[in-house]
Amino acid sequence: MSEREDAIFKTTGCKWLLPVSGYLGLSLDQVNFLACQLFALLAAFWFRLYLSPNHASPMVRHAVATLLGIAFLLFCFGWYSTHILAVVAVNYFLIIKADINNVHRYSMVTAMGYLTACHVSRVFIYSYGILSTDFSGPLMIVTQKITMLAFHLHDGMCKKSEQLTLEQKHVAIRVRPTLIEYLSYNLNFLSVLVGPCSNYKDYIDFIEGKHISWRLKQHSGTCNGQNGYDKTPDPSPLNAVCRKLLVCCGCMFFFLVITRSLPITYNVDDHFVGHASFLSRLTYAFFSIQAARPKFFFAWTLADAVNNAAGYGFLGMDGSGKPCWDLVSNLNIIGIETATSFKTFIDNWNIQTGIWLKTVCYDRAAKHRLALTFILSALWHGVYPGYYFTFITAIPITIAARAIRRSIRHYFIGSRLLKLGYDIVTWAATQLAICYTVMPFLLLSVEHTIVYYRSMYFHVHIISILAAVVLHQKHKPREPSATNKPSPPASSSSSAAACSAQCQPVHSNNNGKVN
Protein backbone atom coordinates (compact mmCIF):
# COMPACT_ATOMS: atom_id res chain seq x y z
CA MET A 1 0.00 0.00 0.00
CA SER A 2 1.39 3.42 -0.98
CA GLU A 3 1.79 6.24 1.54
CA ARG A 4 -1.12 8.14 -0.02
CA GLU A 5 -3.37 5.06 -0.01
CA ASP A 6 -2.37 4.39 3.60
CA ALA A 7 -3.27 8.00 4.53
CA ILE A 8 -6.66 7.66 2.82
CA PHE A 9 -7.29 4.42 4.67
CA LYS A 10 -6.54 6.09 8.01
CA THR A 11 -8.66 9.16 7.29
CA THR A 12 -12.03 8.71 8.95
CA GLY A 13 -13.61 11.91 7.65
CA CYS A 14 -15.64 12.58 4.55
CA LYS A 15 -14.25 11.23 1.25
CA TRP A 16 -16.08 13.71 -1.02
CA LEU A 17 -12.92 15.69 -1.76
CA LEU A 18 -10.76 12.70 -2.68
CA PRO A 19 -10.37 13.87 -6.33
CA VAL A 20 -9.21 17.28 -5.08
CA SER A 21 -6.69 15.53 -2.83
CA GLY A 22 -5.23 13.69 -5.79
CA TYR A 23 -5.11 16.81 -7.96
CA LEU A 24 -3.33 18.94 -5.34
CA GLY A 25 -1.04 16.18 -4.10
CA LEU A 26 -2.16 16.77 -0.51
CA SER A 27 -3.51 14.19 1.91
CA LEU A 28 -7.29 13.95 2.22
CA ASP A 29 -7.24 15.06 5.86
CA GLN A 30 -5.37 18.23 4.84
CA VAL A 31 -7.85 18.94 2.05
CA ASN A 32 -10.84 18.39 4.37
CA PHE A 33 -9.29 20.71 6.94
CA LEU A 34 -8.58 23.39 4.36
CA ALA A 35 -12.10 23.12 2.89
CA CYS A 36 -13.70 23.52 6.33
CA GLN A 37 -11.55 26.51 7.21
CA LEU A 38 -12.35 28.25 3.91
CA PHE A 39 -16.04 27.54 4.41
CA ALA A 40 -15.68 28.82 7.99
CA LEU A 41 -14.22 32.05 6.60
CA LEU A 42 -17.29 32.60 4.41
CA ALA A 43 -19.63 31.57 7.22
CA ALA A 44 -17.85 34.01 9.55
CA PHE A 45 -18.62 36.96 7.29
CA TRP A 46 -22.25 35.83 7.11
CA PHE A 47 -22.29 35.38 10.90
CA ARG A 48 -21.07 38.95 11.45
CA LEU A 49 -23.33 40.60 8.86
CA TYR A 50 -26.59 38.64 9.05
CA LEU A 51 -26.44 37.11 12.53
CA SER A 52 -25.04 40.15 14.27
CA PRO A 53 -26.30 40.94 17.79
CA ASN A 54 -28.58 43.53 16.21
CA HIS A 55 -30.31 40.90 14.08
CA ALA A 56 -30.19 37.73 16.15
CA SER A 57 -30.43 36.83 19.83
CA PRO A 58 -27.47 35.36 21.72
CA MET A 59 -29.31 32.01 21.80
CA VAL A 60 -29.48 31.89 17.99
CA ARG A 61 -25.83 32.91 17.64
CA HIS A 62 -24.77 30.24 20.15
CA ALA A 63 -26.83 27.56 18.42
CA VAL A 64 -25.59 28.35 14.90
CA ALA A 65 -21.94 28.56 15.99
CA THR A 66 -22.25 25.21 17.79
CA LEU A 67 -24.04 23.33 15.00
CA LEU A 68 -21.56 24.50 12.39
CA GLY A 69 -18.67 23.48 14.64
CA ILE A 70 -20.07 19.97 15.14
CA ALA A 71 -20.66 19.68 11.38
CA PHE A 72 -17.00 20.52 10.74
CA LEU A 73 -15.90 17.87 13.23
CA LEU A 74 -18.04 15.21 11.57
CA PHE A 75 -16.84 16.19 8.10
CA CYS A 76 -13.16 16.04 9.06
CA PHE A 77 -13.06 13.17 11.57
CA GLY A 78 -16.22 11.10 11.26
CA TRP A 79 -16.94 8.97 14.30
CA TYR A 80 -13.71 10.10 15.98
CA SER A 81 -15.61 13.31 16.72
CA THR A 82 -17.34 11.44 19.53
CA HIS A 83 -14.12 11.72 21.55
CA ILE A 84 -14.38 15.51 21.47
CA LEU A 85 -18.12 15.59 22.11
CA ALA A 86 -17.81 13.10 24.98
CA VAL A 87 -15.14 15.01 26.89
CA VAL A 88 -17.14 18.25 26.52
CA ALA A 89 -20.32 16.56 27.84
CA VAL A 90 -18.54 14.94 30.80
CA ASN A 91 -16.87 18.15 31.86
CA TYR A 92 -20.09 20.14 31.65
CA PHE A 93 -21.60 17.64 34.06
CA LEU A 94 -18.60 18.23 36.35
CA ILE A 95 -18.87 22.02 36.45
CA ILE A 96 -22.61 21.77 37.17
CA LYS A 97 -22.57 18.99 39.76
CA ALA A 98 -19.08 18.89 41.25
CA ASP A 99 -17.91 20.75 44.36
CA ILE A 100 -17.02 24.23 43.13
CA ASN A 101 -13.97 24.30 45.43
CA ASN A 102 -12.43 21.43 43.48
CA VAL A 103 -14.03 21.80 40.05
CA HIS A 104 -10.78 23.04 38.49
CA ARG A 105 -8.93 19.96 39.72
CA TYR A 106 -11.61 17.55 38.53
CA SER A 107 -11.74 19.19 35.11
CA MET A 108 -7.96 19.18 34.73
CA VAL A 109 -7.64 15.51 35.66
CA THR A 110 -10.59 14.45 33.50
CA ALA A 111 -9.73 16.48 30.39
CA MET A 112 -5.98 15.89 30.50
CA GLY A 113 -6.46 12.23 31.39
CA TYR A 114 -8.80 11.66 28.46
CA LEU A 115 -6.50 13.59 26.13
CA THR A 116 -3.52 11.51 27.22
CA ALA A 117 -5.46 8.26 26.70
CA CYS A 118 -6.34 9.43 23.18
CA HIS A 119 -2.71 10.38 22.54
CA VAL A 120 -1.65 6.86 23.53
CA SER A 121 -4.25 5.25 21.27
CA ARG A 122 -3.21 7.62 18.49
CA VAL A 123 0.32 6.20 18.61
CA PHE A 124 -1.08 2.72 17.97
CA ILE A 125 -3.34 4.00 15.17
CA TYR A 126 -0.82 6.12 13.29
CA SER A 127 2.53 4.95 14.72
CA TYR A 128 5.09 7.63 13.76
CA GLY A 129 3.42 8.33 10.41
CA ILE A 130 0.89 10.66 12.00
CA LEU A 131 -1.58 12.64 9.97
CA SER A 132 -1.18 16.38 10.14
CA THR A 133 -4.81 17.05 11.08
CA ASP A 134 -6.15 14.05 13.01
CA PHE A 135 -8.79 14.27 15.75
CA SER A 136 -6.28 14.97 18.54
CA GLY A 137 -5.83 18.58 17.35
CA PRO A 138 -9.38 19.72 18.17
CA LEU A 139 -9.28 17.60 21.32
CA MET A 140 -6.19 19.52 22.46
CA ILE A 141 -7.95 22.85 21.88
CA VAL A 142 -11.08 21.66 23.72
CA THR A 143 -8.90 20.52 26.64
CA GLN A 144 -7.47 24.02 26.93
CA LYS A 145 -10.91 25.61 26.90
CA ILE A 146 -12.42 23.16 29.40
CA THR A 147 -9.63 23.54 31.93
CA MET A 148 -9.22 27.31 31.58
CA LEU A 149 -12.97 27.84 32.04
CA ALA A 150 -12.91 25.63 35.16
CA PHE A 151 -10.03 27.62 36.69
CA HIS A 152 -11.73 30.93 35.91
CA LEU A 153 -14.97 29.61 37.38
CA HIS A 154 -13.17 28.55 40.54
CA ASP A 155 -11.53 31.99 40.79
CA GLY A 156 -14.86 33.78 40.37
CA MET A 157 -16.95 31.66 42.75
CA CYS A 158 -14.47 30.58 45.44
CA LYS A 159 -11.93 33.36 45.85
CA LYS A 160 -12.27 36.84 47.25
CA SER A 161 -11.45 39.77 45.02
CA GLU A 162 -8.28 40.61 46.97
CA GLN A 163 -6.96 37.08 46.38
CA LEU A 164 -6.97 37.57 42.60
CA THR A 165 -4.57 39.43 40.38
CA LEU A 166 -5.91 42.22 38.18
CA GLU A 167 -5.79 39.88 35.20
CA GLN A 168 -7.61 37.10 37.07
CA LYS A 169 -10.34 39.52 38.18
CA HIS A 170 -11.00 40.45 34.56
CA VAL A 171 -11.51 36.85 33.38
CA ALA A 172 -13.10 35.36 36.53
CA ILE A 173 -16.49 33.69 35.94
CA ARG A 174 -19.05 34.26 38.68
CA VAL A 175 -21.97 32.22 37.31
CA ARG A 176 -21.95 28.70 35.93
CA PRO A 177 -22.48 28.71 32.15
CA THR A 178 -25.66 27.30 30.64
CA LEU A 179 -25.44 24.23 28.41
CA ILE A 180 -25.71 26.16 25.15
CA GLU A 181 -23.07 28.67 26.30
CA TYR A 182 -20.72 25.86 27.28
CA LEU A 183 -21.21 23.99 24.01
CA SER A 184 -20.83 27.15 21.96
CA TYR A 185 -17.62 28.18 23.73
CA ASN A 186 -16.01 24.76 23.25
CA LEU A 187 -17.38 23.72 19.85
CA ASN A 188 -17.99 26.93 17.89
CA PHE A 189 -17.00 26.76 14.22
CA LEU A 190 -14.57 29.67 14.56
CA SER A 191 -12.05 27.72 16.60
CA VAL A 192 -13.13 24.09 16.78
CA LEU A 193 -10.54 22.74 14.33
CA VAL A 194 -7.34 24.59 15.12
CA GLY A 195 -8.19 27.12 17.82
CA PRO A 196 -7.12 29.43 19.13
CA CYS A 197 -8.26 29.07 22.71
CA SER A 198 -9.65 32.30 24.14
CA ASN A 199 -11.11 33.04 27.53
CA TYR A 200 -14.80 32.41 28.16
CA LYS A 201 -15.77 35.96 29.11
CA ASP A 202 -14.37 37.43 25.90
CA TYR A 203 -16.26 34.86 23.84
CA ILE A 204 -19.56 35.50 25.63
CA ASP A 205 -19.08 39.26 25.19
CA PHE A 206 -18.59 38.62 21.47
CA ILE A 207 -21.78 36.55 21.19
CA GLU A 208 -23.78 39.14 23.14
CA GLY A 209 -22.43 42.08 21.13
CA LYS A 210 -20.36 43.68 23.90
CA HIS A 211 -16.95 42.56 22.67
CA ILE A 212 -16.04 45.65 20.63
CA SER A 213 -18.00 48.35 22.49
CA TRP A 214 -16.32 47.51 25.80
CA ARG A 215 -12.87 47.95 24.29
CA LEU A 216 -13.81 51.12 22.48
CA LYS A 217 -14.66 52.62 25.85
CA GLN A 218 -11.07 52.08 26.90
CA HIS A 219 -9.80 54.23 24.03
CA SER A 220 -10.04 57.97 24.51
CA GLY A 221 -11.47 59.89 21.61
CA THR A 222 -14.07 57.35 20.53
CA CYS A 223 -16.87 59.00 22.46
CA ASN A 224 -19.27 61.16 20.50
CA GLY A 225 -21.35 62.97 23.09
CA GLN A 226 -22.97 61.55 26.20
CA ASN A 227 -23.99 58.35 24.47
CA GLY A 228 -21.11 58.38 22.04
CA TYR A 229 -19.95 54.86 22.76
CA ASP A 230 -23.27 53.49 21.58
CA LYS A 231 -23.22 55.68 18.46
CA THR A 232 -19.68 54.82 17.42
CA PRO A 233 -19.88 52.24 14.62
CA ASP A 234 -17.98 49.02 15.11
CA PRO A 235 -14.66 49.06 13.24
CA SER A 236 -14.55 46.73 10.26
CA PRO A 237 -12.18 43.74 10.39
CA LEU A 238 -11.91 43.61 6.59
CA ASN A 239 -8.40 45.10 6.39
CA ALA A 240 -7.11 42.79 9.10
CA VAL A 241 -8.69 39.74 7.43
CA CYS A 242 -7.26 40.63 4.00
CA ARG A 243 -3.80 41.18 5.47
CA LYS A 244 -3.86 37.83 7.26
CA LEU A 245 -5.13 36.03 4.17
CA LEU A 246 -2.19 37.46 2.20
CA VAL A 247 0.13 36.05 4.86
CA CYS A 248 -1.63 32.68 4.46
CA CYS A 249 -1.08 32.75 0.69
CA GLY A 250 2.61 33.48 1.19
CA CYS A 251 2.93 30.66 3.72
CA MET A 252 1.14 28.21 1.43
CA PHE A 253 3.42 29.14 -1.47
CA PHE A 254 6.49 28.76 0.73
CA PHE A 255 5.25 25.37 1.94
CA LEU A 256 4.62 24.02 -1.55
CA VAL A 257 7.88 25.36 -3.03
CA ILE A 258 10.45 25.37 -0.21
CA THR A 259 9.32 23.19 2.69
CA ARG A 260 9.03 20.00 0.66
CA SER A 261 12.58 20.40 -0.63
CA LEU A 262 14.02 20.52 2.91
CA PRO A 263 12.65 17.44 4.70
CA ILE A 264 13.29 17.29 8.44
CA THR A 265 14.18 13.58 8.31
CA TYR A 266 17.26 14.35 6.21
CA ASN A 267 18.87 15.65 9.41
CA VAL A 268 19.18 12.02 10.58
CA ASP A 269 19.96 10.44 7.22
CA ASP A 270 22.83 7.99 7.69
CA HIS A 271 24.81 9.19 4.68
CA PHE A 272 24.32 12.87 5.50
CA VAL A 273 25.26 12.45 9.16
CA GLY A 274 28.26 10.28 8.31
CA HIS A 275 29.77 12.39 5.54
CA ALA A 276 28.69 16.02 5.97
CA SER A 277 30.74 18.38 8.12
CA PHE A 278 29.40 19.73 11.41
CA LEU A 279 28.91 23.17 9.85
CA SER A 280 26.95 21.65 6.95
CA ARG A 281 24.75 19.68 9.34
CA LEU A 282 24.16 22.77 11.47
CA THR A 283 23.27 24.86 8.41
CA TYR A 284 20.83 22.29 7.04
CA ALA A 285 19.20 21.89 10.46
CA PHE A 286 18.71 25.66 10.68
CA PHE A 287 17.11 26.02 7.24
CA SER A 288 14.97 22.87 7.54
CA ILE A 289 13.50 24.15 10.80
CA GLN A 290 12.89 27.56 9.22
CA ALA A 291 11.12 25.81 6.35
CA ALA A 292 8.92 23.80 8.74
CA ARG A 293 7.37 26.90 10.31
CA PRO A 294 5.11 28.15 7.46
CA LYS A 295 2.61 25.31 7.85
CA PHE A 296 2.03 26.45 11.42
CA PHE A 297 1.97 30.08 10.32
CA PHE A 298 -0.65 29.20 7.71
CA ALA A 299 -2.99 27.26 10.01
CA TRP A 300 -2.88 29.75 12.89
CA THR A 301 -3.12 32.87 10.71
CA LEU A 302 -6.09 31.45 8.79
CA ALA A 303 -7.81 30.62 12.09
CA ASP A 304 -7.16 34.18 13.27
CA ALA A 305 -8.65 35.55 10.05
CA VAL A 306 -11.77 33.39 10.50
CA ASN A 307 -12.34 34.78 13.99
CA ASN A 308 -11.78 38.35 12.80
CA ALA A 309 -14.19 37.89 9.89
CA ALA A 310 -16.90 37.03 12.41
CA GLY A 311 -16.12 40.19 14.39
CA TYR A 312 -14.15 38.42 17.13
CA GLY A 313 -10.62 39.33 18.14
CA PHE A 314 -10.84 43.11 18.49
CA LEU A 315 -8.12 44.17 20.91
CA GLY A 316 -8.61 47.94 20.85
CA MET A 317 -7.09 50.95 19.14
CA ASP A 318 -3.34 51.13 18.62
CA GLY A 319 -1.20 54.18 19.22
CA SER A 320 -2.15 55.70 15.88
CA GLY A 321 -5.87 55.25 16.46
CA LYS A 322 -6.25 52.29 14.10
CA PRO A 323 -8.20 49.18 15.13
CA CYS A 324 -6.10 46.22 16.22
CA TRP A 325 -7.52 42.71 15.69
CA ASP A 326 -4.93 40.60 17.50
CA LEU A 327 -6.79 39.57 20.66
CA VAL A 328 -6.85 35.88 19.72
CA SER A 329 -3.77 35.82 17.48
CA ASN A 330 -1.66 32.75 18.07
CA LEU A 331 1.64 34.05 16.75
CA ASN A 332 3.64 37.12 15.85
CA ILE A 333 5.71 36.18 12.80
CA ILE A 334 7.96 39.24 12.96
CA GLY A 335 8.53 38.68 16.69
CA ILE A 336 9.42 35.04 16.01
CA GLU A 337 11.85 35.69 13.18
CA THR A 338 13.60 38.59 14.96
CA ALA A 339 13.65 37.11 18.48
CA THR A 340 16.89 37.83 20.32
CA SER A 341 16.10 35.65 23.35
CA PHE A 342 14.61 32.25 24.01
CA LYS A 343 11.81 33.84 26.03
CA THR A 344 10.92 36.33 23.29
CA PHE A 345 10.59 33.49 20.80
CA ILE A 346 8.33 31.50 23.14
CA ASP A 347 6.22 34.60 23.90
CA ASN A 348 5.49 35.07 20.19
CA TRP A 349 4.91 31.40 19.28
CA ASN A 350 1.59 29.64 20.03
CA ILE A 351 0.60 32.62 22.16
CA GLN A 352 -2.80 31.37 23.31
CA THR A 353 -1.32 28.07 24.49
CA GLY A 354 1.23 30.08 26.45
CA ILE A 355 -1.61 31.99 28.11
CA TRP A 356 -3.34 28.71 28.96
CA LEU A 357 -0.16 27.26 30.49
CA LYS A 358 0.32 30.43 32.50
CA THR A 359 -3.30 30.36 33.69
CA VAL A 360 -3.55 26.72 34.76
CA CYS A 361 0.03 25.96 35.79
CA TYR A 362 2.67 28.68 35.99
CA ASP A 363 0.62 31.12 38.07
CA ARG A 364 -0.73 28.34 40.33
CA ALA A 365 2.37 26.25 41.07
CA ALA A 366 3.95 26.84 44.47
CA LYS A 367 7.45 25.89 43.26
CA HIS A 368 9.29 24.46 40.24
CA ARG A 369 6.96 26.52 38.06
CA LEU A 370 9.14 26.49 34.96
CA ALA A 371 9.72 22.73 35.00
CA LEU A 372 6.07 21.91 35.71
CA THR A 373 4.90 24.22 32.92
CA PHE A 374 7.19 22.62 30.34
CA ILE A 375 6.16 19.13 31.46
CA LEU A 376 2.47 20.00 31.20
CA SER A 377 3.11 21.42 27.72
CA ALA A 378 4.80 18.18 26.66
CA LEU A 379 1.97 16.07 28.08
CA TRP A 380 -0.62 18.23 26.34
CA HIS A 381 1.15 17.80 23.00
CA GLY A 382 1.22 14.01 23.23
CA VAL A 383 3.21 10.97 24.25
CA TYR A 384 5.78 10.84 21.48
CA PRO A 385 9.25 10.86 23.07
CA GLY A 386 10.40 13.75 20.89
CA TYR A 387 7.99 16.11 22.65
CA TYR A 388 9.59 15.35 26.01
CA PHE A 389 13.11 15.74 24.65
CA THR A 390 12.12 19.18 23.37
CA PHE A 391 10.49 20.51 26.53
CA ILE A 392 13.00 19.00 28.95
CA THR A 393 15.83 20.43 26.86
CA ALA A 394 14.10 23.82 26.99
CA ILE A 395 14.40 23.98 30.79
CA PRO A 396 18.22 24.39 31.10
CA ILE A 397 18.28 26.56 27.98
CA THR A 398 15.70 28.93 29.48
CA ILE A 399 17.57 29.09 32.80
CA ALA A 400 20.90 29.65 31.02
CA ALA A 401 19.42 32.35 28.76
CA ARG A 402 18.08 34.21 31.78
CA ALA A 403 21.43 33.99 33.57
CA ILE A 404 23.46 35.08 30.53
CA ARG A 405 21.17 38.01 29.83
CA ARG A 406 21.33 39.10 33.46
CA SER A 407 25.14 38.83 33.49
CA ILE A 408 26.24 40.49 30.27
CA ARG A 409 23.44 42.49 28.65
CA HIS A 410 24.07 45.64 30.68
CA TYR A 411 27.59 45.90 29.19
CA PHE A 412 26.18 46.44 25.69
CA ILE A 413 23.20 48.76 26.09
CA GLY A 414 25.23 51.95 26.56
CA SER A 415 26.33 52.16 22.92
CA ARG A 416 24.12 51.88 19.84
CA LEU A 417 26.83 49.98 17.93
CA LEU A 418 27.49 47.57 20.78
CA LYS A 419 23.74 47.05 21.20
CA LEU A 420 23.40 46.23 17.50
CA GLY A 421 26.24 43.72 17.71
CA TYR A 422 24.71 42.20 20.84
CA ASP A 423 21.32 41.87 19.12
CA ILE A 424 22.85 40.17 16.08
CA VAL A 425 24.76 37.66 18.18
CA THR A 426 21.82 36.91 20.46
CA TRP A 427 19.49 36.56 17.44
CA ALA A 428 21.79 33.95 15.88
CA ALA A 429 22.22 32.15 19.20
CA THR A 430 18.46 32.16 19.82
CA GLN A 431 17.58 30.81 16.37
CA LEU A 432 20.20 28.04 16.61
CA ALA A 433 19.07 27.14 20.12
CA ILE A 434 15.44 26.98 18.97
CA CYS A 435 16.47 24.81 16.02
CA TYR A 436 18.32 22.43 18.34
CA THR A 437 15.46 22.35 20.85
CA VAL A 438 12.52 21.75 18.53
CA MET A 439 14.15 19.21 16.22
CA PRO A 440 13.06 16.24 18.41
CA PHE A 441 9.52 17.68 18.38
CA LEU A 442 9.44 17.04 14.62
CA LEU A 443 11.50 13.83 14.58
CA LEU A 444 9.31 12.29 17.33
CA SER A 445 11.23 9.06 18.01
CA VAL A 446 14.00 8.38 20.52
CA GLU A 447 16.23 6.81 17.89
CA HIS A 448 16.10 9.78 15.52
CA THR A 449 16.49 12.26 18.38
CA ILE A 450 19.65 10.57 19.69
CA VAL A 451 21.11 10.39 16.17
CA TYR A 452 20.51 14.13 15.75
CA TYR A 453 21.89 15.11 19.15
CA ARG A 454 24.99 12.98 18.57
CA SER A 455 25.52 14.65 15.21
CA MET A 456 25.38 17.97 17.05
CA TYR A 457 27.70 16.67 19.80
CA PHE A 458 25.09 17.67 22.42
CA HIS A 459 26.68 21.12 22.26
CA VAL A 460 23.61 23.15 23.32
CA HIS A 461 22.95 20.84 26.27
CA ILE A 462 26.55 21.18 27.44
CA ILE A 463 26.78 24.95 26.96
CA SER A 464 23.43 25.72 28.60
CA ILE A 465 24.01 23.49 31.64
CA LEU A 466 27.52 24.90 32.20
CA ALA A 467 26.29 28.47 31.81
CA ALA A 468 23.37 27.90 34.17
CA VAL A 469 25.59 26.34 36.86
CA VAL A 470 28.48 28.81 36.61
CA LEU A 471 26.35 31.94 36.44
CA HIS A 472 24.03 30.69 39.19
CA GLN A 473 27.02 30.39 41.51
CA LYS A 474 28.23 33.83 40.43
CA HIS A 475 24.91 35.48 41.29
CA LYS A 476 24.14 33.38 44.35
CA PRO A 477 23.47 35.74 47.27
CA ARG A 478 26.03 35.57 50.08
CA GLU A 479 25.00 34.86 53.64
CA PRO A 480 25.64 37.93 55.85
CA SER A 481 28.42 37.45 58.39
CA ALA A 482 27.77 37.71 62.10
CA THR A 483 29.67 41.00 62.29
CA ASN A 484 28.15 42.48 59.17
CA LYS A 485 24.44 41.79 59.37
CA PRO A 486 22.16 44.36 57.73
CA SER A 487 20.43 46.69 60.11
CA PRO A 488 16.64 46.63 60.17
CA PRO A 489 14.84 49.24 58.06
CA ALA A 490 14.01 52.49 59.74
CA SER A 491 10.38 52.32 58.71
CA SER A 492 7.99 50.43 56.50
CA SER A 493 7.99 53.27 54.00
CA SER A 494 11.79 53.18 53.59
CA SER A 495 11.64 49.41 53.18
CA ALA A 496 9.06 49.79 50.43
CA ALA A 497 11.22 52.42 48.72
CA ALA A 498 14.22 50.07 48.79
CA CYS A 499 12.14 47.29 47.35
CA SER A 500 10.87 49.56 44.58
CA ALA A 501 14.40 50.59 43.72
CA GLN A 502 15.74 47.03 43.53
CA CYS A 503 12.83 45.12 41.95
CA GLN A 504 11.59 45.34 38.39
CA PRO A 505 7.78 45.40 38.21
CA VAL A 506 6.01 42.59 36.38
CA HIS A 507 3.69 43.85 33.68
CA SER A 508 1.13 41.99 31.63
CA ASN A 509 0.97 42.58 27.91
CA ASN A 510 -2.22 42.71 25.88
CA ASN A 511 -2.25 38.97 25.48
CA GLY A 512 -2.05 38.36 29.19
CA LYS A 513 1.51 37.05 29.16
CA VAL A 514 4.10 38.10 31.67
CA ASN A 515 6.94 40.23 30.37
pLDDT digits (tens, 9 = 90+) for 299-334: 999 999 999 999 999 998 888 888 999 999 999 999
Nearest to 191 by CA among 356, 320, 349, 302: 302
pLDDT digits (tens, 9 = 90+) for 465-485: 998 888 766 655 444 444 444
Number of domains in the chain: 1
pLDDT digits (tens, 9 = 90+) for 400-455: 988 888 888 888 888 889 999 999 999 999 999 999 999 999 998 999 999 999 99
pLDDT band at 216 (very low <50, low <70, confident <90, very high): confident
Considering only residues 102 and 498, tell me which one the structure prediction assigns the higher pLDDT. 102
The answer to whether position 463 is within a domain reads no
What confidence score (pLDDT) does residue 225 get?
44
Instruction: Give dist(CA 400, CA 396) in Å, integer.
Output: 6
What confidence score (pLDDT) does residue 108 get?
96
pLDDT digits (tens, 9 = 90+) for 378-408: 999 999 999 999 999 998 998 898 888 888 8
Active-site annotation holds for 227: no
SS3 label, residue 477: coil
CA dihedral sign of residues 215, 218, 221, 222: positive
The answer to whether position 227 is within a domain reads no
133: containing domain = 1-209
Mean pLDDT of the chain: 85
pTM tops 0.75, yes or no: yes
What confidence score (pLDDT) does residue 6 get?
47
The answer to whether position 111 is within a domain reads yes
pLDDT digits (tens, 9 = 90+) for 81-90: 999 999 999 9
The answer to whether position 162 is within a domain reads yes
Where is 143: in which H helix or E strand? helix 136-158
SS3 label, residue 389: helix
The answer to whether position 366 is within a domain reads no
The answer to whether position 16 is within a domain reads yes
The answer to whether position 272 is within a domain reads no
Nearest to 221 by CA among 312, 308, 315, 320: 320
Instruction: Give dist(CA 311, CA 46) in Å, integer.
Output: 10
Active-site annotation holds for 350: yes
The answer to whether position 427 is within a domain reads no
Q: Which of these is catalytic: 188, 330, 350, 511?
A: 350
pLDDT digits (tens, 9 = 90+) for 166-209: 888 999 999 999 999 999 999 999 999 998 999 999 999 999 99
**Is the separation of the CB atoms in 442 and 264 below 8 Å?**
yes
Q: Which of these is catalytic: 62, 104, 119, 381?
A: 381
Instruction: Give dist(CA 174, CA 166) in Å, integer.
Output: 15
